[in-house]
Amino acid sequence: MPLSEPLHQAGEHPRDYARLWKERSGGKVVGYFCSYTPQELISAARALPFRIWSSGADISRADSHLQAYSCSLVRGALEDALAGRLDFLDGAAFPHTCDSIMRLSDIWRMNTHFGFHADLVMPVKLNTDSAAEYMTAVLHRFRSDLEKGLGVNITDQRLHEAIQDWNRVRRLLGSLYARRAGDPSSLGAAELHQVFRAAMVMEPRASARALEALIHSLPAAKPDRRPAGVPIILSGGLCGMPDIHQVVEAAGGRVVWDDFCTGARYFEGLVDESEEPVAALARRLLTRVVCPAKHTGIHSRGHYLLDKVRQQGARGVVFLYLKFCDPHAFDHPYLKAMLDEEGIPSMLIEVEDATGAEGQLRTRLEAFMEMV
């Protein structure tokens, strides 16, 4: 089923979408890295939060700033910035996550001229009182950085509305995901992938409208039909994300859940709309599904993965990592061991670049599906 025009356009050509949005609304665009960025605050500043990932273009300019041992997301994003492909940005926000993003922030600040630059130096451990207090303080600071940097006033009222808008988007993504996991034929894998990409760059009200329309138009689930394909969970962090759902399905699998920051980690956990808004934002960041660059306990991610395997009846897990991504690479041996103990087969795919990896993946995935 073809997607509606806005979702298709934003998913397929995110940079064109942002340019057009800017032209039409006269608003500002703030690029951001990582799902720990509170887009709500950017929206409340009347700017468009635009998730940056690499366009996949050849690297030439970034090579004089970043060594070859940094991941392709970091290198690709810098390349895009230096080559002028992100000319529509009015600034960028860098939440503290991995070492590579941390240095990218410095290099970006020193070599680009977008105007606004924000470091959200968030806590790395999230499970103590002092970390919670500090997280809240970081968000307050980001709020005033945005106000100063973009010359706006972020009222509580605006923030509250932005929280509602983004909650709506998250809810809709969640229900779309659930609907589709039950009946993958209802929406193609390529389309699902596009919807996610779109939701990470679109203005939230527009994306909520488009998502609602999409869900309405989906054919009703047929409860008597058992969906085909081996139920699989994806785990990892392709910050740039190739069309992995499609590849898995073509190889005979069916994605029932994922642990991607560009997937379920992005929509799981809502912001409490009844609480003071900044405190509520902080709470969501502290309690949402944790990324490997943050700490809530030494087994958090393993338990989460096992729970999801059980809940979703998955028969295998596919780990998908970007080469040179340290946080994920460190977690893999223990996650695999925990799955092994439960008799859940898993496989690891490491790709150099997020784009164009489909061909080589297909054969390996087919072999895995047969084994499962």
Partner 1 sequence: MGEDGRVLDPDREKRKIKADKRMREIMAEYYIEAKTPREQRGKPIAWITSGGPVEPLHVMDVIPVYPENYGAMIGASKMGVGLCETAEEMGYSRDLCSYARADIASATVNGGPIGGLPEPDMLICCNNICGTVLKWYEVQARYFNVPLFIFDTPITHTRFDDDMRRYVKRQSKEYIAFLERVCGKPFDQDRMKVVGELSLEGQALWQEILETTMHKPAPMTCFDAFFHLAMIVTLRGTQTAVDYYKMLLAEMRERVAQGIGMLAEEKYRLVWDNIPIWYRMRWLSEKFMARSACLVADTYTSGWTGWLPGADRNDFLGFMGESYARIFLNSGTDLMAENILRMVEKYHADGVVFHSNRSCKPYSLGQYDIQRIVQEKMGIPTLMIEADMVDERSFAESQIDTRIDAFIEMLG
Q: Give residue 27's identity as a one-letter amino acid code.
A: G
Distance (Å, whole) CA 199 – CA 7: 8
* Binding status of residue 101 toward ligand SF4 by CB under 6 A: yes
Residue 325, interface with ligand SF4 (CB under 6 A)? yes
Query: Least distance from C-beta 142 to ligand SF4, angstroms?
Result: 20
**What number of H helices and E strands is found in the chain?**
15, 8
Decide: helix, strand or coil at residue 28. Answer: strand
Cβ-Cβ contacts under 8 Å for 250 (sequence gap 6 or more) = 362
Q: Are 370 and 364 in contact (CB under 8 A)?
A: no
CA atoms within 13 A on the CB side of 89: 29
Give residues 25-84 in contact with ligand SF4 (rule: CB under 6 A): 71, 73-74
Total residues interacting with partner 1, rule: CB under 8 A = 51
Residue with token string 């968000």: 139
Q: Please list, in sequence order, all residues whose beta carbon lies within 8 angstroms of the beta carbon of residue 259, skipping any fewer than 6 positions away.
A: 233, 234, 235, 236, 265, 289, 301, 304, 305, 308
Of the two residues 67 and 274, which places its CB atom closer to partner 1 in the complex? 67
- CB 28, min distance to partner 1, A: 21
Nearer to partner 1, 128 or 217 (CB): 128
Residue carrying structure tokens 């969640």: 174
The first and second tokens of residue 19, run together, are 């340019």
Of 22 and 294, which has the nearer Cβ to partner 1?
294
125 binds, among partner 1, ligand SF4, none (CB under 5 to 8 A by kind): partner 1
**Range 129-158, binding ligand SF4 (CB under 6 A):** none
Residues in 120-179 that interact with partner 1 by CB under 8 A: 121, 123-125, 128-131, 133-134, 137-138, 141
List the one residue from 100, 105, 194, 296 that touches ligand SF4 (CB under 6 A).
100
| CA quadruple 331, 76, 116, 170: dihedral sign | negative
Does the protein bind partner 1 through residue 330 (CB under 8 A)?
A: yes
CA–CA dist 276, 256 (Å, integer): 35
158 versus 336: smaller Cβ distance to partner 1: 336
The entry of partner 1, ligand SF4, none that residue 322 binds, CB within 5 to 8 Å by partner kind: ligand SF4
- Contact at 8 Å (CB) between 30 and 49? yes
329 binds partner 1 (CB under 8 A): yes
Most distant CA pair in the chain: distance in Å? 59
Residue 158 binds which one of ligand SF4, partner 1, none, with CB within 5 to 8 A depending on kind?
A: none
Window 35 to 64, contacts with partner 1 (CB under 8 A): 64
User: Measured from the CB atom, is 213 or 334 closer to partner 1?
Assistant: 334
**Complex with partner 1: residue 125 or 148, whichever CB lies closer:** 125
Contacting range for ligand SF4; rule: CB under 6 A; set: 7-15, 136-144, 189-197, 325-333: 325-333
Q: How many CA atoms lie within 13 A of 138 on its CB side?
A: 25
What are the structure tokens assigned to 330, written together?
A: 């460190």
CB of 330 to partner 1, least distance (A): 3
Q: By CB under 8 A, which span of 13-21, 50-58, 244-252, 291-299 interacts with partner 1?
A: 291-299
Note whether 237 binds ligand SF4 by CB under 6 A.
Answer: yes
Closest to 205 (Cα-Cα) out of 95, 28, 49, 53? 49
Cβ(278)–Cβ(136) below 8 Å: yes
Backbone angles phi, psi at 232, to 5 degrees: -130, 145
Q: Does 113 bind partner 1 (CB under 8 A)?
A: no
What is the distance between the alpha carbons of residues 113 and 14, in angstroms, rounded to a whole number? 21
Q: Which residues bind ligand SF4 (CB under 6 A)?
A: 71, 73-74, 97-98, 100-101, 237, 239, 293, 322, 325, 327-328
Q: Which residues bind partner 1 (CB under 8 A)?
A: 64-67, 69-70, 96-100, 102-107, 109-111, 119, 121, 123-125, 128-131, 133-134, 137-138, 141, 292-293, 295, 298-299, 323-324, 326-327, 329-334, 336, 350
